[in-house]
Amino acid sequence: MSTGPANLPKASNPPPSDALALNIGRVDWQKGQIANAYEAAKQLGSGFKLFQSFDFTEMDCNLNDFISRTNTFGGHPNQFKVNGKTFISSFSGDCLGNSGWGSLKAATNGFVMPFIWGLENQFNSWNNLDSWYW
């Protein structure tokens, strides 16, 4: 699929979206596609927002890599933010543990809302998460 500007409005046309999740794994070509998507959103000039969603079932659990990937686009005008904080999502991510999510949050000024199965009735013990979905 092309990440050109012509494809992004389709994602935001009725109903309107707050942002579009860019699911990403470990394969290097995906980094380039993420950059293309942010550039395409910028070219739209509409303020359309994007955020990265890290697929931990596909990626190594490398905290420094996630910090780098997040900070690369944290200041981008089309980065989705919550209360001024870079929105960070995931599929899985229990490998980071509560302290790893806290480190990611601190190093990126992030708002972390991962999907981590098995946290039901344990959310209070994962106090570094801003929210989570199930």
10-26 confidence digits (pLDDT tens): 554 545 677 899 999 88
Stated as kind and residue range, the H or E segment containing 24 is: strand 20-24
Average pLDDT score over residue span 123-129: 76
Are the C-beta atoms of residues 50 and 20 closer than 8 Å to each other?
A: yes
Enter the tokens of residue 52.
């990265």
**Residue (of 121, 56, 51, 44) closest to 92 by Cα position:** 56
17 Cβ contact partners less than 8 Å away, ≥ 6 residues apart: 11
Average pLDDT score over residue span 93-106: 90
22-80 confidence digits (pLDDT tens): 999 888 899 899 999 999 999 988 889 999 999 988 988 999 999 999 999 999 999 99
Provide the 3-class DSSP secondary structure of residue 81. Answer: strand
Enter the tokens of residue 117.
């199965």
Sequence letter at residue 86:
T
Q: What share of the chain is helix, strand, coil (3-state, %, to 5)?
A: 40, 20, 40
In the chain, the percentage of residues whose pLDDT exceeds 90 is 47
Are the C-beta atoms of residues 79 and 86 closer than 8 Å to each other?
A: yes
